[in-house]
Chain A
Amino acid sequence: MMINVTALMKVRELLGWSSKAIEFEGRTLVDLLKHVVTQDGRTLYDVFVQEDGTIHPDYAVWMNCRPIKPQDRLEIPLQSGDRVIAMPVLKFRAGG
C-alpha cells in the first residue's frame, strides 16, 4: 500500500527528507515505523517507541490529522492513502 509520510523538525533531519509517498507491504502503523529507516541506519520504531511499546514522550505521531495518544496501541491498521506525520513533541503555550 502507499502511505504518505511527512517528517518535521528534528525527525526531518534524522531522515534527510520532508515528505514521501512510501510503498510498503506492512499492515499496521508499527510495520510502517519499522519500515522507515533513518540516515544513521535506525528505524523510526527504534527512535520513537519505548520498551513498553508506547511512543517516547519526546516524539509524536499523527495519523490522518489525529494524534496517536500515549495510551493508544500502535498496531493500528493502515489503508492506502493514509497520511502519517512523525515529529518531535511540539511544546508551546500562549493566549487563551
Chain B
Amino acid sequence: MARANSVRPGRWYSTTCKMCIHTCALRAHVSNKGVVDKIEGDPTSPSNKGKCCVKANTGAMRNYDPYRLKKPVKRTNPRKGPGEDPGWVEISWDEALDLVASKMKAMIEKDPREFCYAITDFHKIYNWAWPGQFGNANQFHVIGTYCGGAYHVTAGIYNSAFAGVGDYERCKYWIGCGTGDGFSSHLHVAAAQRMMADARDRGMKVVVVEPRLSTSAAKADEWIPIRPACDRHFVLGLIHTLMYEHKIYDAEYLKWFANGGYLINEEGWFHRSSTEKALPPEGRPEGSMRWFRQTREERYKPMVWDPVDKCAKVFDDPTIKDIALEGTYEVDGKKVRPAFQYIKDAYKEYTPEWAEKITTVPADTIRRIAKEFGEAAQIGSSITIDGEVYPYRPVSFNWYRGAQGHKFGTMDNQSYILLNMLVGSYNAPGGLLGVTLGSPHMVWTDEPGPDGILDPKPHQLHPEVPFAWPPNTTTLMEIMPLGVDPGQFNQLTLTDPEKYDITFKPKICLLYHSNTVWSNVGNVEKWHDIMRSFEFVWAIELFHNESSTFADVILPDRTFLESWALLMCEPPATEGLNCRQPVVEPLGETRDSYDILAEIAERMGTLPVMNDIYSFITGLVNTPDLMLDPQKRYTHKEFLDRCAHYWTRSVWPPERGIEWFMENGHNTIWRPPTHKYYMSDKRGRDMRRPFYCEYILQQKKHLQEQLKNVKLKFDWSFKDYAAFPDGSLSPVHSEPPEYDMYAITYKEHFMNFTENLSIPWIREIADRDPHHVGLIMNPKTAKAKGLQEGDYIEVRSQFGQLTGWLVYTEGIHPEVIGVSNATNRTVTHSPITRLGGGQFNTLLGNNFEYTDLCTGAMETVARVKITKLPAPPLPERY
C-alpha cells in the first residue's frame, strides 16, 4: 500500500485522528525506523473517503514536538500565575501517582464536593464519568456553554438528538448561519467538505448569514452580512414572511408530524380534555417500554380542533378527520387557538422591516430569501427511498455556535428549529436531520413521550442534576433543570460563595486536556485568583498551557499516534466505529490517560466503583460476559476490546473484537435511511415534534415551585424559558453608547480545538491569512475612526481588554471587529507561538444577565470601544 514517491520503506497502520473533536479514519505510515512520516485519510472509510484536513496531516508534528511533556513533573515554586516559573522537576510515576491518590483520598473522605474538574477529552468520553466515583458534578470548564449549551439541549428536546445538520445527499437549498457546516467547522469537517462539494456539484444553493466573510461565506453563492447576536431576529423575519406574505408552510407536517394543531389557551398552556386521561396501557406494549405511559402524574390529553366535525377532540382520537391550524375556537367555555395560529399572532409584528432595524439585513433580502427557501422546500412532494415513501423537503437551515451562543440562546435555537419545521424539512429527506449518538445503551433515541410528542431528552451527554438548595455544585446546576454545565459561573460562586449559598470550598482541581483559564469567560485575573486558591491542582496533558501552569503535578498523556480509542463516526451521513491504535512506541515515559485514571482509582481504593461506572456508561453492564470485573484493573486496550464486542454485537454487527479493528480500522457504514429520516407514517405520527414546546414551560413552572421555599440572595430570571421564541434582545445591544462596536471571535478548521499555533504548518497557514494575523475591521469603519491598517489598538469592553494590530478586510460587517483565536497566546510551551495581546474571552460578560438561564449558554459577543495606542516593538516572528 505504500506510495514509493511519498514515504520511506515501512508499513501503513489504520488509526483515527484526534487533532480535533472529529474522528476521521486515517492511515499512518511508519518507517522501518519506527517513525511516523505520513498521515492521510483512510480510503476505505465511507465517511472521509481518504481525505483528511491539515490538522490530521500535522499529527506527526505534534507527536514529535520537542517541547512535549515526557515525564511526570512537579512544581517547586509555590507561587502560581503568569510570570512565575513553576520550577518544574521531573518525578517518577510512582511518586506522582502516590501524590495525586493521597490528596484525592483525603479529600473524598472529608467532602467529595471539594473536588472540581475540567475534563474535555472528547475521544475518551467514558473518562468524563471518572469523577462519578465521588458523586461529584463540579464541572470547572466552559466548553459546553460556549459552543453548544443551548444547541444540544434544544436538539435533545425537539429531536432527541445531539445535534443537527442538513441532508448533504438530498438538500437543494442550504442556509448556513453562524456555522461552518460543510466547510470549516462543526460536524466531521473532512467528510462534510466532500459531501458539501458533491452537493454543490449537484447544484445546491448555499446562502451564508454571518457578520464575517468566513470560509463558508467566501465559498457560498451568497453572503449576507448581519449584525452579531441577532440571527434569531433575521429568522423571525423569515418566518413572518412565510406565514403572512408568501403563505408557504407545510400544513400536513404541522398537523400530523408536529403539534401545530394542539389547542393553546390564553395562559399559554395546552388545552386539555377534562375527561380523557393518558393512562398506562394494560400489560406491556410491544417494542419500547414507553415510559411516559408509566408516569404516576395524572395528565389529561391535549386537544385539537377538527374542522370537519367542528369540535375539539383529543390529539389521538381515531375519528379525527382533519386538524385546524388557524382560527379561534371556544372549547369548554374557554377561548383557544391552534398552536400555529397562536404563534402566527405573536409573530405579526416581526415584519422584514422590523428585522432589518435589528439585523441590518435589508427587508427585501429577507423577503427574497424566505421566498427562495419556501419554494425550494417543494412542499407536497415526496420521495421513495428503499421502497418507503417520505415527504421530500430539500431545504435546510443550519446553525451552530455563532447563531446561538448568546443570551436567549434557547430561543435562538428554537427559532431555527421552527423555521425548518414550518416548511416540513425537520428530519425529512433533504432537510435538517438529527445527529443522534446512536448507542443502544443510551436513551437518546427518539421515543414517544407525553402528549403524543417525542420524549424530550435535553441531557444528551451526562445525567441531569436534581434540584437542591443549598447547591452541591459550583455551577448552580441545581436550578437549571435543562442546563449544560455553565462552568463560567465558577467565577461567581468561588469568588463569593456566601451569596450563592455554597457551603463547601473546592480545594482540588483536575485539568484533563482542558485549558480552562484560556477558554473560560470573564476577567482573566479572577480566574488566576481562583486557580491560586486551590490547594492542589493536577493535570493530564501533552503540553504546558495557561491552565496547567497552575498545576502542582502534571501527568504526561500520549498522543493519538501512541494510544488507544474506539470512536463512533459522527452521523448523520455515516455510522460505525473507528479504531485508534498505537502506531509508534510512545515517547519518553508517557502513559495513556485511561491507564492513568485506572491506576489512581486503584491507589485510592475506588477501582471497583470506577469499573462499575465504566461498565454502566458504555453499556457493558447489559452483557454479563463483557461487564468489567470490579476488582480487576484493565488496560485501555482490554477495556476497549470489551466495548468493541458489545457495541458490534448490539448495534453494528457482526461482532468484532479490538484485534479486528486494529487490522481493518473501522466498520463504518453509510447510515441507512431508517436511521436518518424519522417522519415516515410508521415512525413520526406517534411522536410529534413540538412546534409549540409546552415542556419548557413545565420545566420553568416546576423550578419556580421548587424555588418558592428558597430565598435566593440574587436575581434569577425565567425569561429564557419559552414555548416558542420571541424577539427578546441580548443585552449587548443596549450597552452604553461609547461601546460602539461588536467584537466577535472565530476559528477555521485548522484552528479547531487546541494547541494549534505551536504546530509549524498551522502557524504558517495562520500567518498567511489576514483574518488570523491581527484584529480585523472594515476599512470604512477604521477610516471613520481615524485608524489605519497596522495601527496598534486596544479593544475594551465593560469587562476586559485586549490589544493587537489592526488589519483591514472588506469581509466583515462595518460594526464589527474580529478577533481570531489565532492571534496570540499568553502561555505557551513553544517558541513559535506568539505571546501577548490578551484573550478574547476576557471581553465577555460573565454574569446572569449575559447568560441564557434556561441552558447556561453564554453571550459570546462583546460590545467594545477601540482606542489607538502607541505602537510597541513588532512581535517577534519565527
Contacts and interface: CB of A to CB of B under 8 A. Distances in A.
Interface of A: 4, 6, 8-9, 12, 18-19, 53-54, 57, 63-69, 71-73, 76-77, 79, 83, 85, 87-96
Contacts of B143: 95-96
A19 B616 contact: no
Given A76-B289, A92-B137, 5 more contacts: A6-B624, A9-B609, A65-B442, A65-B622, A95-B143
Contacts of A95: 119-120, 122, 125, 128, 141, 143-144, 461-462
A47 B466 CA distance: 19
CB-based closest 6 A-B pairs: A94-B128, A93-B139, A92-B132, A8-B612, A73-B296, A94-B119
A71 B294 CA distance: 8
15 contacts: A12-B612, A53-B296, A65-B442, A65-B619, A67-B443, A73-B296, A76-B289, A87-B612, A89-B466, A92-B129, A92-B131, A93-B462, A94-B131, A94-B141, A96-B122
A9 B621 CA distance: 12
Contacts, number: 125
A94 B465 CA distance: 12
A79 B120 CA distance: 40
Contacts of B288: 66
B294 A73 contact: yes
B441 A65 contact: yes
A83 B623 CA distance: 10
A93 B485 contact: yes
A89 B443 CA distance: 16
B613 A65 contact: no
What interface size band does chain B fall in? 35 or more
Contacts of B136: 91-92
A42 B439 CA distance: 35
B280 interface: yes
Nearest to B296: A73
B147 interface: yes
Nearest to B617: A90
Contacts of B672: none
B283 interface: yes
B277 to A, nearest CB: 13
B606 to A, nearest CB: 10
A93 B440 contact: no
Contacts of B463: 89-92
A87 B442 CA distance: 16
Given A91-B132, A92-B129, A94-B117, A18 B296 contact: no
Interface in B837-869: none
Contact of A71 (B280, B297, B442): B297
B356 to A, nearest CB: 34
Interface string B97-129: 000000000000000000001011010010011
Nearest to A67: B443
B122 A8 contact: no
A85 B289 CA distance: 15
A95 B609 CA distance: 21
Most chain A Cβ neighbours within 10 Å, of B117, B291, B612, B627: B612
Contacts of B565: none
B673 interface: no
A79 B289 CA distance: 11
